[in-house]
Amino acid sequence: MRPSLFFGALEPLHETPEVCDVCKENPPILCYEFASYGPRGEAQEKKGFCCAHCTTILVRILERDESQRWAEEEAALKDDESDVSDFRQHRLAAFRNNENSRA
C-alpha cells in the first residue's frame, strides 16, 4: 500500500451526510479516501466526507506522515553507511515547512 489521499465530489441526491467526518462541525462538500500507516506500521484506511477547511488538514496529515517516512528511510540508509546527501537535500527541500524534515 502506498499512503494516499483522494477527493471526489459529493452526489447530493444520493449522499446526504450532515457534518464533516473530520471536524464534526461544517457541512461536507467532498468525499475522501485516506490510506496511511498506523504507529506500528499497520495499514489504515478511512473513507468519509469533509468540508473545505478539513481538506487542507487531511493533506497536512499526509504530508507529515510522508515526511516522517522519508526521515526514517534516510536514517536507515545512513545506518547502512550509504551516501544520503542527495536524498537529504531533496527531503529538506520537499518538506521545508514540516518539523519532521529537520531531523
Segments forming the whole domain that contains residue 53: 4-102
Half-sphere exposure of 28 (CA within 13 A, CB side): 24
Beta strands at 4-9 and 43-50: parallel, antiparallel or unpaired:
unpaired
> Are the C-beta atoms of 8 and 31 separated by less than 8 Å?
yes
Report the predicted TM-score, pTM, of the whole model to 2 decimal places. 0.76
Residue 79: per-residue pLDDT: 80
For the segment 4-34, what is each residue's pLDDT rounded down to a tens digit?
A: 999 999 887 887 789 999 999 999 999 999 9
Average pLDDT over the chain, rounded to an integer: 85
For the segment 34-45, what is each residue's pLDDT rounded down to a tens digit?
A: 998 877 878 899
Structural domains counted in the chain? 1
- 47: part of which helix (H) or strand (E)? strand 43-50
Residue 97's pLDDT band, with cuts at 50, 70 and 90, is: low
